[in-house]
Amino acid sequence: MAFAKSNRMPVGALQCENTTMHLLKANDYVAQGIRSKMQQQGTLLINITSSAGSGKTSLMQETARRLKDKIKMAVLVGDLETERDAVRIREAGIPSLQIVTNGVCHLEAQMIQQAFGHIAVEGLDLLFIENVGNLVCPAAFDLGEDYRVTLLASTEGDDKPKKYPRMFLTSELMLVSKADLLPYLPFSVEAAVKDAREVNPEIEALTISSLNGEGMDAWCNWLLERIAAKKAETLAMPAQA
Ligand SMILES: Nc1nc2c(ncn2[C@@H]2O[C@H](COP(=O)(O)OP(=O)(O)OP(=O)(O)O)[C@@H](O)[C@H]2O)c(=O)[nH]1
Ligand SMILES: [Mg+2]
């Protein structure tokens, strides 16, 4: 007897759950290797996440313009297709490598590991990973980062932290981006920060605009403080035999 569509169980749900567990265990193992490599060389690793189009690449370009003469930095950037973001970042004056995921909606640690064979990361003070634009899947994959920074654009609506809680739960900093548009939109920064802190009481928040420069000094200082702390940690480590 045929079942009504609404009564059908999702096929394969349990198998999917197990597969994901194994995949994530393998991912975490590789991520730990990346973390220890970055620790050895004193490079701060930041994973930048957000929905598609929230301003990640624009932020990478603007950060490069402001910091490239002070520190050594590079960006790995993930997208389903095209080299466009890496080209934009290189035009801002720093090395960038595009990781084309061929349809995969997030970056995995093994992709970062492979990328290390194609871009010089030794001696960097700061390495950004611009993740694929997606507030869901990238939240599950540790890339060995020191900090996860999530952009929430004023154009997306202030209700997103509770709707996509895992991303905000696993982030240390939320950047409310496209702040130059706030006067024209029904977006409350206060409501977004309140929601994000109900999900993750520890999350820090800054309001930024890559277009008019608002909040960029605070963002660059946030980075420079953490770069200095990472260097100090590496210097304090016992020398390798
Ligand atoms: N008004 C305004 N527009 C911005 C700002 N930052 C980025 N944009 C615009 O938003 C659009 C998307 O910006 P991107 O930097 O490409 O966003 P993204 O998050 O890298 O996009 P994906 O990599 O495709 O997920 C572009 O048209 C940018 O010009 C900003 O601060 N203010
Ligand atoms: Mg981008």
Identify the pLDDT of residue 22.
81
Q: Are 106 and 134 in contact (CB under 8 A)?
A: yes
How far apart CA 142 and CA 25 sit, in angstroms, is 10
Q: Supply the CATH classification number for the domain 16-231.
A: 3.40.50.300
**Choice among 154-168, 202-216, 226-240 with the minimum mean pLDDT:** 226-240
The answer, as to whether pTM is greater than 0.85, is yes
Kindly indicate the confidence band of residue 204, based on its pLDDT and cuts at 50, 70 and 90: very high
Residues within 5 Å of ion ligand 2, judged at the Cβ atom: 56-57, 85
Identify the pLDDT of residue 52.
97
Q: Are 60 and 77 in contact (CB under 8 A)?
A: yes
Q: To test ligand 1's pocket by mutation, which of 50, 57, 62 has the most ligand atoms within 8 angstroms of CB?
A: 57
Residue 32 one-letter amino acid:
Q
Sequence-separated (6 or more) residues with CB below 8 Å from residue 200: 168, 169, 170, 171
Cα 174 to ligand 1 centroid, rounded to whole Å: 16
Q: What is the position in ligand 1's atom list of the atom closest to the CA of 151?
A: 19
Sequence-separated (6 or more) residues with CB below 8 Å from residue 212: 179, 180
How far apart CA 24 and CA 72 sit, in angstroms, is 31
pLDDT in tens, 72-112: 999 999 999 999 999 999 999 999 999 999 899 999 999 99
Domain ranges of the chain: 16-231
Counting ligands in written order, which one lies closest to the CA of residue 56?
A: 1
Q: Is 177 in the pocket of ligand 1 (CB under 6 A)?
A: yes
